[in-house]
Amino acid sequence: MAGMEHEVAWARLTAAEIQARAGGGTVVLIPVASVEQHGPHLATGVDMILVSALAERTARKLQAGGTRALVTPCIWTGLAEHHMALGGTFTLDLPSFMAVVGGIARSVARHGFGRIALVNGHGGNTEAIASSAIELTRQLGVPVVGLTYWLANADTFGAILEAQANIQHACEGETSMMLALAADCVRQDRIAAAVPRRVAPPAPPGFRRSRGFDAMTDTGALGNPAAASAEKGERLLEAGSTRLAEELARPELWA
């Protein structure tokens, strides 16, 4: 089909079109997310919607710069036990999650692709994605990079956000990006009710523990969604995908 040579979505291509791009130089992005509560004002698919959009924008930027790229369908469920008490949430346990991520990456590698990026869009997946990238690189014999998109953009996002330093949860940043991408998934009349009045103090730097979101915030949100705007969301999406494309295009990352 004419024009499909520019398509980046794996699921929109035929098997032959995908295999024609196989090889060490093509970067395959695997978005990884969660479906979970996002306060009273955002739909449960926020992480899936945002990381999928960022991955596709990143892939298009990679191709515009001369690096072939594909984006697999999003792994839509992750590690979200800490959101379960607030409803509307799916979660896997750690072995199941690692098995799903590994199975997708292993399939990509078996088809001849030699550069795989696990693009994480959910905070609860962060450590597991980093560990998966390390283990899969050893197992598959091809470089697998793990990244969490807002941690890779701490400086760029910090320069755009006004009420917080980086992405939190159902916050200024996530609400802004959803207003830019899927405004119908934002209940704008509920944004004021989402601003938390009670927030538990975080663990000290370097310390981690499990704590449910019902114990962390009285609204299911962290951060200030009242500061959100669609214009800010578009800036975040563009800055985020630009940074990821720049890094994923560097040969040194894959050496």
Q: pTM value? A: 0.96
Q: Is 231 helix (H, G, I), strand (E, B) or coil?
A: helix
Condensed to tens digits (0 to 9), the pLDDT of residues 29-68 reads 999 999 999 999 999 999 999 999 999 999 999 999 999 9
Tokens of 228: 């959100």
Find the helix or strand (DSSP H, E) in which 133 lies.
Answer: helix 126-140
Q: Is 147 helix (H, G, I), strand (E, B) or coil?
A: strand
Q: Which domains does the chain have, with CATH numbers?
A: 27-199+212-246 (3.40.50.10310)
* pLDDT tens, per residue, the chain with 255 residues: 456 889 999 999 999 999 999 987 999 999 999 999 999 999 999 999 999 999 999 999 999 999 999 999 999 999 999 999 999 999 999 999 999 999 999 999 999 999 999 999 999 999 999 999 999 999 999 999 999 999 999 999 999 999 999 999 999 999 999 999 999 999 999 999 999 999 998 889 899 888 999 999 999 999 999 999 999 999 999 999 999 999 999 999 999
Distances (CA, A) of 96 to 72, 111, 161, 255: 19, 23, 35, 30
With residues binned 3-state (H G I as helix, E B as strand, rest as coil), the percentages for the chain, rounded to 5, are: 50, 15, 35
| Contact criterion met (CB below 8 Å) for 33 and 121 | yes
Instruction: Kindly calculate the radius of gyration of the chain based on its CA atoms and give it in whole angstroms.
Output: 18
